[in-house]
Every structure is written in structure tokens, then in C-alpha cells.
Amino acid sequence: THSHLDHIACLPFILDSVGDQRNTPLTMHATQATQDIIRKHIFNWQIWPDFSEIPSPENPFLRFNTIEVGKSLVIGERSITALPANHTVPAVGYQLQDLSSGASMVFSGDTTTCDPLWEMVNAIDNLRYLIIEAAFPDSERELAKLSKHFCPSLLLEELAKLESDPDIYVTHAKPGMFKQIEAELLRGAGRRRINMLAAESVFEF
């Protein structure tokens, strides 16, 4: 979704650990802006080797594939479409659609208020699940705004723009604030089905 360390930290270690055990390169699908940041600051031969050139440029461990907002990528029986997001670095969310059933799941990635996101989400038929972030409690609303994340009150304001009624799962809560964020969300949920995302969650559609 974007280049922040908590979202890409495992990538260099995966490549270093199992790159030579794969028959094909690991493909990282990302916008050009995100690729540029990761190439400049991670795979730059100073922080980490450039695995798009190892063991050779013709047969690397890592391959980049450029995605664009609104364009779909088909992998097997699923299509993946990048959605707009509003964060402190270039960022996207994703729609994952099952091509046989037509059902979809949306993951916001890291974002704050973003009308273009809701415009695209509201155009999705048969949206089963929405996974969206809320990193801070309402007591840190200004920090959430500054860092372009949601707190419960900001998220609930945004959910008023959602025209469908999927199951909503909230992620990215700071560990020490999980219970407080959950309580604040549930107090304001109204008719919305809002849950905190748990590690053992399984989504079938």
C-alpha cells in the first residue's frame, strides 16, 4: 500500500531468506511513487542490496510491477484494484474481488479523510467486507490528523459516506490503545457492524 517501514519491513528479509529457493522472482505490486521510494531508501546497496539485480538483472529475486489507481490486476480467480488513499506518503488501498461470485473486500491501507476512496468504494457491487484503519483514540485526534490516520470519531464521520453495509473490521490500532479505540468505535457505531480485526480472522467470499 505504501512505503512506511511497518508495511515493508519483512520484504528485504523474505528476499534474503528464501529468494534463492524460488523458481520465479517475488513480484512487488506497487505504484511507481512507492517503488521509487523503496528503491531509493531500501534496495540501494547501502541499507540493503538491490534484489532486483541479484543474482542478475535478467533473473532477479525481486521484480517490480507498476499499478495505478482504478486499474485492475487479475491473479488467478481474483482481481485486485488499487484505490485512492490519503497518507503522509504516496499510498493506496485495495479492492479484492472474487471473479466467480463477484463479491469484494476492501482494505483501506493507511489513510485519513479521502473522498475519492468513498467514490470508488460506493461504486462496488456486493461489498462484503471493509477493513479500515483507526490508529489512535479520540484523545489523540490532532495527532491522527497530523499523521494522516483515523481515530474513532474521524472514522465514524467518514463511514457516513459509505452507502453500502458491509461488515467493517478496524485495524492498525496502537497496541496499548486497542481497548480504548474499540470502546469509542462501538459507542458510535450505530447500525454499522464494526469489529476490531483479530489475527485469527478469516474472510470467505
The residues facing 74 across adjacent strands are 79
What local confidence, expressed as pLDDT, does residue 90 receive? 98
Phi, psi (deg, nearest 5) at residue 111: -160, 165
Are residues 60 and 84 part of one domain? no
pLDDT at 205: 86
What pLDDT is attached to residue 88? 98
CB 15 within 8 A of CB 50: no
| 167 and 117 share one domain | yes
pLDDT for 158: 97
Are residues 54 and 123 located together in one domain of the fold? no
**pLDDT computed for residue 200 by the predictor:** 87
Q: Are residues 54 and 140 in the same domain?
A: no
138/127 Cα distance (integer angstroms): 28
Under-70 pLDDT residues of the chain? none
What is the span of the domain harbouring residue 41? 5-66
Q: In a 3-state reduction of DSSP, which class is residue 27?
A: strand
- DSSP state at residue 123: T
Identify the pLDDT of residue 189. Answer: 94
Alpha carbon distance 118, 155 (integer Å): 12
Give me the pLDDT at residue 164, please: 97
Beta strands in 17-156, from DSSP E residues, in sequence order: 26-30, 62-66, 72-75, 78-84, 92-98, 104-107, 127-133
Provide the pLDDT for residue 73: 95
pLDDT, residue 190, reads 93
pTM of the model: 0.93
Q: Decide which of 27, 50, 66 is a domain's last residue.
A: 66
pLDDT digits (tens, 9 = 90+) for 150-164: 999 999 999 999 999
Does residue 187 sit within a domain? yes
- Kindly state whether residues 140 and 77 are assigned to the same domain: yes
Q: How many domains does the chain have?
A: 2
DSSP string across 46-64: SSB--TTSSS-TTS-SEEE
CA 113 to chain centre: 15
Going from the C-alpha of 5 to that of each of 43, 165, 177, the distances in angstroms are 13, 32, 20
How far are the Cα atoms of 26, 47, 85, 96 from residue 78, in angstroms, in the given order?
A: 18, 34, 21, 7
